[in-house]
Each structure stands twice: as C-alpha cells, then as structure tokens.
Amino acid sequence: MSLSIGDIAPDFTLINTDGKKISLKDYFNKQIVLLFFPFANSSTCTEEMCTMRDNMKIYEKLDANVLGISVDSHYSLKLWSEKLNLNFPLLSDFNREASAKYDSLNEIHSPGKYDYLGVSKRSAFVIGKNGKIKYAEICMHTGLQPDYEAIMKALEK
C-alpha cells in the first residue's frame, strides 16, 4: 500500500523504550513527524536522530511531536536513546507492522540501496492534527537523510 498526501495516517501501537504501548492516535493533539530508520547505532541513523534532537525547539514551535521508529528491540532503542540523550520517543516496530503500513519495510533485496531485508527504510512522514498525511518521503538508499527543510515546510502549512 502506497500512502499519499491527504490520506489518513494508519494507526499503530508500538512499544516505547520503557516497554509501554504507545498508539499514534495518542499524539494527535499536535502535528506528528514520523521517522522510520533502519538501525539503531548506525552512523547515518545516529546523524539523523541527533539532527532531530538538536532542532527539537524548532519542532516544538511548529507544534509537532517527533517519533522515531525502527525494528530494533525496545531494549536496544532505550540504550541508544540514553547514549544520544534524545529528547523525543523511540518506538520499537519489532513485529514490523507499522513499517509495513507505511510502505517503509524493506522486503526486496536491492544491492547498494537496502542490503538488509526486514528493516525499516529511512522514511519521513508529517501528519496533521486531523490525522492526514501532509508529507511523505521514502529514501531510496540507507545513506540518505530525509529532507529536513521539506519536513519543516509541511509543518508550517
């Protein structure tokens, strides 16, 4: 299923770093930036999460919650979040359900792009308070970062 701007964002329930179940709808009091990423502790994912951490005041001014999502266990995400001193929640999609709903699960081997099957593709989605998708981006290579400027523009609309 491919999601488009204007579509209702699929709801999900995932486990946060404290082992608690968190649903997307719990965050509909603000806009939402969903960031799917392949691997905790990898260099590109670390750069992405630190970029979000360092710009959190901007996202707060734009009335947005940020959620990072990967297929890593909530145990490893907790250690990584603490190591990076992240100021937003990381959620474990260990069963790969949310990644699949957002067409962000790598299920096809494509050398040089996503060499690992069963991980989340680096993806960014902006969801409005009405639950509709305002921005959607799926990076075609694990080494790419999302377009942070486009994410900000979508939040400003």
Largest Cα–Cα distance in the chain? Answer: 40
Q: b or e along 22-41 (b: 16 or more beta carbons within 10 Å of the residue's beta carbon)? A: bebeebbebbbbbbbbbbbe
C-alpha distances in angstroms, 39 versus 21, 32, 77? 21, 21, 9
Backbone CA torsion sign across 77, 92, 113, 32: negative
Given 45, 86, 91, 126, the catalytic residue: 45
Active-site residue 45, yes or no? yes
DSSP class of 102:
T
Catalytic residues: 45
